[in-house]
Chains A and B, each alone.
Chain A
Amino acid sequence: MNIRAVSIIGDREFVLKLQELLAKVSVRVVTSDLTEDYAKQVADVDLVFEVAPEDIAVKKEVFKNCDARCRKDAILATTTANPWVTQLARATKRPDKVVGLNFTKNLFEEKYLVQIVKGLQTSDDTIQIVKEFLEKAGITVVKLEETPGFILDRVIASIVNEAAVMYSSKLATKEDIDKMMKVCVNWPMGPFEFADNLGVDKVVDILNSMIEELGPKYQPCFLLRKMVDAGWLGKKTGRGFYIYS
């Protein structure tokens, strides 16, 4: 299937961002937020991007409504960072055509990576179609099975957690830990800089979701939990491991 028309539904900010990202492909884009009768606009599109807030009930509603109005062969994609593809698929009559497309902005440059998330029912055809479409838009894509944290958050949260254990047990200062990872093995950022960029609360959330599905080794370091309690969430609150003015 060739994607000729797409619909983007959800938070205004993300809708606009996504529209901008797709500017390189010749495709008709219709956008709407959740207060509008968005389902009316999806009847003839090939692909729907849901960019609603991270609330499973809200997302399910969007999927149900779009499923009822879309063409039978249209693909429904969620941009969630949570492992919700499989249950969103179940809310539709086209579970093989439901897929996760998680956008991550590069930390240093204005470019995006998409993690294509395969739910239990997602077909290989669906994966292939969205992959080709996104590559046409000049976006780098990777594929994975639905799992907590996907690829990126899982790796980064694990690094942050171990670094927090090292720092709270006073093996080294946070500055030295960050510096050594950069100058000894060329990491782009140290673990605490990653944490402050990602959000300490988000790191703890990811670790907790991994405990649930992957086991107790992901238990968040108590330091991270205390930082969340203190509101030291990283750059977004002006203080995380470091202070930002």
Chain B
Amino acid sequence: MEIKKIAVLGAGAMGHGIAQICAQAGYQVNLRDVKDEFVEAGMSKIRKFLGGNVEKQRMTQSEADAALGRIKGVTDLKEAVEDVDLVIEAIVEDINIKKELYKELEQICRPDTIFASNTSAQSITEMAMSTKRPGKFVGMHWFNPAQLMRGIEVITHDKTSKETLDTMVDLCKKLGKEPGICKDSPGFIVNRLLQIWFNESLNMYDEGIAEPQDIDTALKAAYNFRMGPFELRDMVGLDIGIASTATQYREMMREQFKPPRCLIMKVKAGDLGRKTGKGFYEYKSEK
């Protein structure tokens, strides 16, 4: 199946970037959120990003205008999805809210429309089974910021059809992204291995073996990791970190995914990383 028109549901952190990349690749995009102000906030971020691209001479003004012209901001769900070939859902990470949305979509969308969820934490299988088209349901996991990160995980479940998978892999390539296929499982590929990398490092600190600085330095100096695990935890936020670790542990129930004690204690103490001025490291205010 050839994708021509795409609806992106959710104009938040991920949704606006996803819509922008689709539009830049020449697709017609409906960017939908529940309130005008959310849609406008997303559109304004897209305008700003495209403007930056023009300034840095990564694209011409007319290319930026054309991309922007292909994005229509809407709040009405029916208007957003009724004639699209693909729905990319990037709404709040709550399985019940997502399943409700899919039930509604099932009523409005054409039967051949593909549903793709940008979830990083919910079960693709469970969402697919809440629709009447499990064969046309996949995960499409983008990384933040969607405009810049090159990889997309395409998540299949037992009933995803080969045609749907092929269409999605092909789409990723047309968007200028690198697809990687993974069966539905907690954390997919990237977050599952990242958790191990984080946890093993944080456990060493908990065990009194080495300081965050030594562990970060070792991994950067010997293997050229761009950031160490402690630096990255601080940057993303320890509260976000503990939530993803706890989810992974709950799903896997294996010792290696257990949230490290130092992470739990720092979150309890309110030391959440850069945003609070202190996490594993201290940050001076940049005023």
Contact = CB atoms under 8 A, between A and B. Distances in A.
B224 A176 contact: no
Contacts of A189: 223
B180 A144 contact: no
Contact of A106 (B224, B255, B256): B224
A220 to B, nearest CB: 13
A-side binding surface: helix, strand, loop or mixed?
mixed
B192 A108 contact: no
Interface stretch (A7-15, A66-74, A178-186, A231-239): A178-186
A171 B204 contact: no
A145 B208 contact: yes
Contacts of A170: 183
A183 B178 contact: yes
Nearest to A179: B180
A177 interface: yes
B190 A106 contact: no
Contact of A180 (B180, B223, B254, B255): B180
A151 interface: yes
Contact of A186 (B197, B214, B217, B226): B226
Contact of A108 (B153, B207, B224): B224
Given A147-B207, A162-B196, A166-B189, A180 B151 contact: yes
Interface residues of A, number: 46
Nearest to B194: A185
Contact size range, B: 35 or more
Interface stretch (A20-28, A56-64, A90-98, A153-161): A153-161
Given A106-B221, A176-B189, A155 B210 contact: no
A108 B224 CA distance: 8
A107 B189 contact: no
Given A142-B218, A172-B181, A183-B149, A106 B193 contact: no
A229 B45 CA distance: 55
Contact of A155 (B150, B151, B219): B219
A152 interface: yes
B254 A184 contact: no
Most chain B CB neighbours (cut-off 10 Å) among A109, A140, A171, A179: A171
A226 interface: no
B209 interface: yes
Given A142-B215, A179-B178, A181-B189, A106 B223 contact: yes
B189 A187 contact: no
Contacts of B149: 183-184
A53 interface: no
B219 A147 contact: no
Most chain A CB neighbours (cut-off 10 Å) among B153, B209, B226: B209
A211 to B, nearest CB: 12
Given A113-B221, A142-B215, A143-B214, A184 B190 contact: yes
A232 B104 CA distance: 52
A184 B224 contact: no
3 nearest A-B residue pairs (beta carbon) = A184-B151, A183-B151, A142-B214
Interface of B: 143, 149-153, 178, 180-183, 185, 189-190, 192-194, 196-197, 200-201, 204, 207-211, 213-215, 217-219, 221-226, 254-256
25 contacts: A104-B222, A107-B222, A109-B224, A111-B221, A142-B214, A144-B210, A145-B208, A151-B209, A155-B201, A155-B219, A158-B196, A162-B196, A162-B256, A170-B183, A171-B185, A171-B189, A176-B180, A180-B178, A181-B190, A183-B150, A184-B180, A186-B226, A188-B223, A188-B225, A188-B226
